[in-house]
Amino acid sequence: MRAPRLPVVLLGLSLGATQVAAAPLETAGAMQCEVSGFSIDPDPKGTNVRSAPRANAPVIGHLAPRVRVTPVETTGVTFKILGSRDGWLLIRDGYPTTDFTLDPASADDGRGWVSGRLVGTTLVAINLRTAPRWDAPVVANFGGPSSSSSPESVVVSTVHGCRGKYVEVTATPLSGKTVRGWSYGPCSLQLTSCGFIIDEPRE
């Protein structure tokens, strides 16, 4: 008597599903950095984490939705930003750890891509510059006697990219126009002070 063939078919389907879930992480061409940020995605379903820096890449995980902590304040999942490419950010080490979930096939690697349009960060350097260098021209100043704002009060609506310890952001001070530029050493704290950097290291 022949053995039933159904279990073989089901096994094949199971293997196929595993191969789809194990989408390789694409990192070629990414600019490396050592900064941090947090989710600002307003979607109550949370933020998709993808295997590559593009909107049609496979989803390999999620960031939990932002949490309202006061009538006017919300906080998002914080994470390290390891690299950037084409407006996308390669992230790792989400906190709280339960709010950054990856598929089993991607969990050991621990990394994934999110759109920089859904990421914020807290600025600490008073100067926003035209390039990721301590001696690049200043686009905007967020501190000092002539300024009505501080770096921490500036709202970052997009993190476009990063390089080393610099991030390129679109930022809006409490009083003043929206600007885009590079800021040194941002912080991922959202409800407490990060401190200020007046003079950037000459790296």
Lowest average pLDDT, out of 11-25, 28-42, 138-152, goes to: 11-25
Q: Hey, what amino acid is at 113?
A: W
How deeply is 100 buried, as exposed, middle or buried, from its count of CB atoms within 10 A (0-12, 13-18, 19+)?
A: buried
Q: Tell me phi and psi for residue 38, to 5 degrees.
A: -155, 160
pTM of the model: 0.86
> Of 143 and 163, which is predicted with more confidence?
163
Cα–Cα distance for residue pair 62/102, rounded to 1 Å: 7
Nearest by Cα to 95 from 74, 75, 69: 75
- pLDDT 10s digits, 166-182: 999 999 998 889 999 99
Q: Give the number of other Cβ atoms within 10 Å of residue 177's Cβ.
A: 7
Q: Are strands 78-85 and 100-102 parallel, antiparallel or unpaired?
A: unpaired
Instruction: For residue range 45-91, list pLDDT tens digits in order.
Output: 999 999 999 999 999 999 999 998 888 788 999 999 999 999 999 99
Q: Residue 103's closest CA among 166, 25, 175?
A: 25
| Rounded CA separation 64/39 (Å) | 9
* Separation CA 116–CA 79 (nearest Å): 13
Task: Quote the percentage of the chain above a pLDDT of 70.
Answer: 87
Average pLDDT along the chain:
88
Domain boundaries, given as residue ranges, for the chain? 31-120
Structure tokens at 182: 């590079």
What pairs with residue 67 in β-bridges? 75
Average pLDDT over residues 155-176: 95
Look at the domain 31-120 and name its fold.
Answer: SH3 type barrels. (2.30.30)
Q: Is 28 exposed, middle or buried (0-12, 13-18, 19+ CB in 10 A)?
A: exposed
